Chains A and B, each alone.
Chain A
Amino acid sequence: MSAVRRHDEGDDLLRAYFERLGSPTTWSGLATKSFYGSDDLRNLDYRRDLGDPGDFPYARGVHADMYRGRLWTRREVCGFGSARDTNQRLRFQIAQGVSGLSVINDNNGSLTIDADHPMAVAEGGVQGVSLSSLRDMEDLFEEIPIDKVSVAFDLSGLDSILWMAIYAAMAEKRGLELAALRGTVQNDTLHFQFCGYGNSCPLELGLKSSVDIIEFCTRRMPLWYTGNANLYDMRENGIDAPQEIAFGLSLASAYVEKAIERGLNVDEFAPRRAFYCSCHVDFFEEVAKLRAARRMWAHLMRERFGAKDPRSWQFRFGVHTAGVSLYPHQPLNNAIRVAYEAMVAVLAGAQSIHCCSYDEPIGLPTETSQTLALRTQQILAYETGAARVADPLGGSWYVESLTNQIEEQALKIMGEIEQKGGMVAAIKSGWVLQEIESAALRRQTEIETGEKIVVGVNAFRAEREASTPGGIHESPPGQGEVLAAAVRELRRSRDNRRVAEALRHLHAQALGGERVNLIPPLIEAARSYATTGEMMGTVRVAYGQPYDPMGVLAPPRF
């Protein structure tokens, strides 16, 4: 049979009537049986292997009362155009009933270059919000009560530490206590090594900055989650479910090790670590994956890192539904995929969810598409009853077997990583990137050969649409120039003596070595309205890196 099936083939109807289930393996290639029974779990010990929700090893969830205690945080990632543009959308989201905010920056921000950088103009505000200084941060959160809303920064590189410092500077300017702020920063600088932005974020400097955030928040912002191991981006790059948790837990362990090296006690900071996971389209496999990850992390934290506080053992995670599972063809199909994926997140006990919009593989979301994504979460929360009981799939012979299978595979991969000297060494050697790339190829081959069916892509295709239902998000022409002009204006109007002084101080501190936390001098510099490019450039120079990650700008004289 041809891999690419069309609905206009001759005896289609008969074939469709007698069609059997295509592939009995999961999307990650795990074999499954036609049914499972009690024999499959003969060795299962409830207390040892599962525990009640809220009990070690947390396979069934980190809270006994789960969503009766608190529903998951309903966020929708947001960022486009200027800080003012994004502020409008954030306020719109609040009016629609989100329970947390999530902000993402543009490519310039990810690379820590300013909006007026020569290579930045075409990118300003295109893939996320443009933010070059405290002034933009003030605009971004204008009239938003940041002491009352949890804010997630969807950023992973050296932009993480910059945003933390600028956000803190803004909060202090508003007269707020840092200790009252609630939120999350992704802060997974290591994953930038294989997710497309490596050159902006040298590995050692990245790690140092990640630990600075952990240390600073532990001391000063105790309600803040200091970092999410970014399993999501790796999964989006093509790896499978066991690889996702194996790579993810190994990444997370690397930060725990580094923070302990810095002199922190594991139980001081581990309760405020979290994970950023994908929920892909293979329903039971994804539920099993997240349950396995919880159990593995609990053991890892207790046995390997000697954590004593139960909160340190808990795998808390936010979910981003899988963008890579969505296609531009028949775009409304994506809304269905997203709904299933979000249901997985709820059944698996997620602490926070972002639903992709159906236009994710087309462009940034419109108000319409993003509202539907939020409504998907609200229907799940209020209508379906999916949130009623903790770990409703626990005890299913199939789900428990799959959980064991995934754990076994993931442990094997983690063993391999350990043999390579840990995750940092595995990244440096190029092994992680190789694994990701070959997994991506495997996945594409499965679709090419029809081994796996994707509706509208290699089966049930239709004519290509000329337009997207609900319209598309478009950047206004000249947006990048306007954003660049605003930064140039800032450079003229601010007190440049104060800026130079703050940057000189930052430079001196950065020369002080690994253990000198750079957030306090970065807050000082942010307050003077130094730009992100100036601040990170200054740090980079002190660390023997070029001032400009793109190699265009020369360092200014201090």
Chain B
Amino acid sequence: MMRRTKILLAKVGLDGHDRGVKVVAQALKSAGMEVVYLGIHQTSEAIVETAVQEDVDVVGLSSLAGGHLVYAQQVLSLLRERGADRVPVVLGGTFPFEDIPRLEAMGIRAVFPPGTLATELVGKIEELARSAQQESFGNPE
């Protein structure tokens, strides 16, 4: 049986814009997910450590200040080092659409720019969580 989706949300780096990620946390909670919100000024190391400890299904990064490429790469590499790269990482916030192919190439599974509706967000995260759970527990059949 599938468990309730558990997602870690964090702002990585020194960006202080946290309104969006808090609204997202609320939307995901309302949709029945378990949300671990780490808050602002998180290091990539702290995020990955928590993701592993808390055994989350998805990691969501929020970036509105231009650090998205650097920090996404750091988090993905650290997850790989910890053997936790089955955990899908998604990114929300402000970034040029030009960067989306680069983010996807490094392994970011979904991006959510400003204006994303909660229904789209919830749908995509549930889908990623389900496929990650199937990967780690085997096919439930």
- Name B70's closest neighbour in chain A (CB-CB): A122
Chain A nearest CB, measured from B99 CB (Å): 8
* B66 with A550: CB separation less than 8 A: no
* A444 with B23: CB separation less than 8 A: yes
A96 at the interface (CB under 8 A from B): no
Chain A nearest CB, measured from B38 CB (Å): 14
A362 at the interface (CB under 8 A from B): yes
Chain A nearest CB, measured from B51 CB (Å): 19
* B18 with A363: CB separation less than 8 A: no
A64 at the interface (CB under 8 A from B): no
- One digit per residue, 1 when the CB lies within 8 angstroms of any chain A CB and 0 when it does not, for chain B 99-139 equals 00000000000000111011100000000000000000000
* B14 with A108: CB separation less than 8 A: yes
* B66 with A362: CB separation less than 8 A: no
In the complex, A108 Cα to B13 Cα: how many Å?
10
> B15: which A residues are within 8 A, CB to CB?
107, 123, 127, 196
A300 at the interface (CB under 8 A from B): no
* B40 with A196: CB separation less than 8 A: yes
- Spot the interface stretch: A208-216, A392-400, A458-466, A507-515: A458-466
Q: Which of A457-477 contact B (CB under 8 A)?
A: 457-458, 464-468, 472, 475
- One digit per residue, 1 when the CB lies within 8 angstroms of any chain A CB and 0 when it does not, for chain B 19-42 equals 100110011000000000000110
- Spot the interface stretch: B1-9, B53-61, B76-84, B90-98: B90-98
Chain B nearest CB, measured from A458 CB (Å): 7
> A329: which B residues are within 8 A, CB to CB?
113, 115
In the complex, A195 Cα to B22 Cα: how many Å?
13
In the complex, A342 Cα to B138 Cα: how many Å?
57
In the complex, A110 Cα to B16 Cα: how many Å?
10
* A550 with B41: CB separation less than 8 A: yes
In the complex, A76 Cα to B75 Cα: how many Å?
35
> A328: which B residues are within 8 A, CB to CB?
94, 96-97, 113-115
> A467: which B residues are within 8 A, CB to CB?
97-98
- Which of A199, A361, A550 counts the most chain B CB atoms within 10 A? A361
In the complex, A240 Cα to B19 Cα: how many Å?
14
> B94: which A residues are within 8 A, CB to CB?
328, 361-363
Chain B nearest CB, measured from A194 CB (Å): 10
Could you name 24 residue pairs across A and B whose Cβ atoms are closer than 8 Å? Answer: A107-B14, A110-B14, A119-B13, A120-B14, A123-B13, A123-B14, A123-B67, A126-B66, A196-B15, A199-B41, A238-B23, A327-B113, A328-B96, A328-B97, A361-B113, A362-B97, A363-B66, A436-B19, A444-B23, A458-B117, A464-B97, A465-B97, A467-B97, A468-B97
- B contacts, CB < 8 Å to A: 13-19, 22-23, 26-27, 40-41, 43, 65-67, 70-71, 94-98, 113-115, 117-119
